[in-house]
A and B are shown apart, each in its own frame.
Chain A
């Protein structure tokens, strides 16, 4: 005889535990943002690109430290040919652009397209909280991209130093505020604009395309306009090259101004001008995003 299963109707149980209100709603939105940009709790294909970018961001640092280890072992007298902290921001800066192009649309557009904002609007969450939590998710990921490889290099090179690990950490400690400042500049240059475009565009692919257009094609266009020497004030076009402005400020932070062939630099602008442009674009972008979400939530 076959035993048949029994279904127990457990009914409905009221929740008598903790309720964290607005704080809980904000942290849940923030955590969901992290999950989204990495494709966690999503289908496998949504995980491929973000994790590939993580590999692109971190792998060179691992390779640099690994080669430095080999050099220190087999040719201690040889000069390390591998990049400095400032150089490495060139790599992660590009990866961050790619990541924001993919991640910012993923954070904002599906909630609008699929009507999920109606759910947020019935929870203890203000529009500013929602935007803030989403922006914090993106900035956290960017900080990770920027800082983890730098920390790997900082610790790795110190561990291989002939002066000893702790002494090398101390000797290179002045790099830490520079690393943090440069990471903040890259994050401010990339994230707010990505969120603004994702606020305006209705499709993820369109937002990604527009972001690439502004950051990469815009920079090339700025260079072309600067070359058009017949146009009065043509050199100001260099400031439209948003993609290369953080590199200009990065050089300033690490004391390497004049060492690169940036259009904005060759057009005669000081790095502080690039920093002001980055801050203005970030401020205006953030204000527009908040204004828009206050209207639709």
Chain B
């Protein structure tokens, strides 16, 4: 995969009057599906608005697809799509007309806009409803229409701001499925969400914001796949711990459960040897699953 950053920021800052929304934000994000996570008020939407050229940073700079987000705003906007979090649909227009209009606004000629509107609405599952006014759409259908207008002009990168907001479980599943498919269409994605499970489902890289600062940034697999083994021991726990520690493992005990990690050796093998040497048994053994939520809570000190 090409590691050339599609999104970068250097010492990026923004303040709404006396309220500082972003402090010295730095990142380089390569192509792919990127999750932008953080609690409400973490600065996610502010960051997206800066990347779109809607807000101008009060400090530092940001680039999108190699273009300066402020100075080259029109170049950026010619290449990106945006699905806003809030309402953005005219209620008295059909989905077909609106998505075609959105394509025209991105510079596509009329016939191409019409054709792509039809194709993309079919892709998001609105082929039968596309000639109905948007005012009669359910929340799920509106979210799909919002996604359709964001990708109708075949952007290189699409910003999705809380794409699952307000959706029921079924609608959420369908939206996540659609987002997961975007990478296959050659469209890079930045998904902003405070629902960490959605990011885990759809993204391969994550940028975590907390209080306007970057908490973590990197491939999702590096953040959530800690090399830790969880074992529930039957027998003399202290002997097992002693054996593991002597073998160079780091052990964290909680009742009969041990969390074992090692920078030098396979922790599974160390656990096996310790149990065999001490004659202890076990109830369960497995890799400890670290969720994005664990990482976020650990990083934010909650």
- Enumerate chain A interface residues (CB-CB to B < 8 A): 10-15, 17-25, 28-29, 31-32, 41-43, 46, 110-111, 114-116, 118-126, 297
Task: Give the residue name and chain of the A residue nearest to B158 (CB).
Answer: A122
Question: Which residues of A have CB within 8 Å of B54?
Answer: 121, 297
In the complex, the answer to whether B88 meets A119 with C-beta atoms within 8 Å is yes
Question: Which residues of A have CB within 8 Å of B184?
Answer: 12
Which residues of chain B (107-140) have a CB below 8 Å from chain A?
Answer: 107-109, 112, 116, 119-120, 122-123, 133
In the complex, the answer to whether B105 meets A43 with C-beta atoms within 8 Å is no
Question: Which residues of B have CB within 8 Å of A43?
Answer: 92, 133
User: Given A19-B78, A114-B89, is A120 in contact with B108 using a C-beta cutoff of 8 Å?
Assistant: no
Selected contact of A20 from candidates B90, B102, B108, CB within 8 Å: B108
Interface of A is mostly: loop
The contact string, 1 if C-beta is below 8 Å from chain A, for chain B 81-96, is: 1101011111111100
In whole angstroms, how far apart are the Cα atoms of A32 and B93 in the complex?
12
Question: Which residues of B have CB within 8 Å of A46?
Answer: 92
- On chain B, the number of residues with a Cβ less than 8 Å from chain A's Cβ atoms is 45
In the complex, the answer to whether A28 meets B185 with C-beta atoms within 8 Å is no
- Enumerate chain B interface residues (CB-CB to A < 8 A): 52, 54, 73-75, 77-78, 80-82, 84, 86-94, 97, 101-102, 104-109, 112, 116, 119-120, 122-123, 133, 149-150, 153-154, 159, 181, 184-186
In whole angstroms, how far apart are the Cα atoms of A19 and B75 in the complex?
12
Task: Give the residue name and chain of the A residue nearest to B109 (CB).
Answer: A18
Question: Which residues of B have CB within 8 Å of A126?
Answer: 73-74
A sample of 14 cross-chain residue pairs with beta-carbon separation below 8 angstroms, ordered by A number, consists of A10-B119, A21-B107, A43-B133, A110-B90, A114-B88, A115-B87, A115-B89, A119-B88, A122-B84, A122-B150, A123-B77, A123-B107, A124-B75, A125-B105
User: Given A14-B154, A19-B78, A114-B89, is A119 in contact with B108 using a C-beta cutoff of 8 Å?
Assistant: no
In the complex, the answer to whether A14 meets B108 with C-beta atoms within 8 Å is no
In whole angstroms, how far apart are the Cα atoms of A251 and B121 in the complex?
55
In whole angstroms, how far apart are the Cα atoms of A10 and B81 in the complex?
22
Question: Which residues of B have CB within 8 Å of A17?
Answer: 108-109, 112
User: Given A12-B123, A21-B78, is A123 in contact with B109 using a C-beta cutoff of 8 Å?
Assistant: no
In whole angstroms, how far apart are the Cα atoms of A121 and B49 in the complex?
9
In the complex, the answer to whether A122 meets B80 with C-beta atoms within 8 Å is yes
User: Given A114-B91, A122-B81, A125-B77, is A19 in contact with B107 using a C-beta cutoff of 8 Å?
Assistant: yes
